[in-house]
A = this chain, B = another copy of it.
Amino acid sequence: MNVFPALASQIADRAPPLAPPESEGIRLIGVTTHMTRDQEVFGEGEPADHVYRVVRGAVRGFRILSDGRRQIYDFYLPGDIFGIERGAEHRITAEALTDTILVVARRSALGHGSDGATAWRLWDLAMVELHRSHDHALSLGRRSAGERVADFLVDMAKRIGDGEHAELPMSRHDIADYLGLTIETVSRTLTQLQISGLIELAGCRSIHLRRPTALAELCA
């Protein structure tokens, strides 16, 4: 807002972050359950009566077009909460990537209209999701296959591992449907990155970022 200084001084203030300090997470008390590979947690259109937290394993959240094309919006990893909806129905489908342990809670356990602290935590969670979705849209809209894959690997190494290693819980097909590419393009790009010495593949699920900085610079 550098454009109208008069106005700026008129209404200037330096507001503290909106969310209260104790909003660092959502408490989720519920039933622990076990899902097997490819099992559906909930489907698009089903009643959104429950919310979920990943304890172990991983989940994909996605939608499918009428002709079968699939777009994965996000992978939910241990610690992540998912399945919270604004309306009465789920807008996406969620499936376990591998054997996965979840905590399932009633949606009503999140609180009600009168519960301000929970509302701020939910807002915070939604904003983080929105940030991820925006970053994702930037990749899908404006990045090449190489940039998308590099970005994906850096992100996964950060979320799953120590920033340099990652045991991917998802297949090439899942990666492709997350990045808006085909499995062949993902595969070719990974081998190119390996040939360039940027990464090392030990089996197709285990990835070592040999030059994380160079990889991050690839993301443009």
Number of A residues near B (Cβ < 8 Å) is 82
**Stretch of A135-143, A156-164, A189-197, A198-206 with 4 or more beta carbons under 8 angstroms from chain B:** A135-143
Closest to A47 in B: B14
Asked if A216 is an interface residue, CB under 8 A from chain B, the answer is no
Chain B nearest Cβ from A37, distance in angstroms: 13
Chain B residues closer than 8 Å to A126, beta-carbon distance = 123, 126-127, 130
Chain B nearest Cβ from A120, distance in angstroms: 5
Asked if A30 is an interface residue, CB under 8 A from chain B, the answer is yes
Chain B residues closer than 8 Å to A111, beta-carbon distance = 18
Contact status A3-B120, CB under 8 Å? no
| A interface residues (Cβ-Cβ under 8 A, vs B) | 1-4, 7, 10-15, 17-21, 23, 30-31, 33, 35, 39-43, 46-47, 49-50, 63, 65-67, 69-71, 73, 84-88, 91-92, 104-108, 110-117, 119-120, 122-124, 126-131, 133-134, 136-138, 140-143, 177, 179-180, 220
30 pairs of residues in contact across A and B, judged by CB atoms under 8 Å: A1-B41, A10-B31, A11-B30, A11-B50, A12-B49, A17-B87, A18-B107, A18-B111, A18-B112, A18-B113, A18-B122, A19-B113, A65-B143, A65-B220, A69-B142, A71-B138, A71-B142, A73-B137, A86-B127, A91-B131, A91-B134, A113-B120, A116-B119, A119-B119, A119-B123, A122-B123, A123-B123, A123-B126, A133-B133, A141-B180
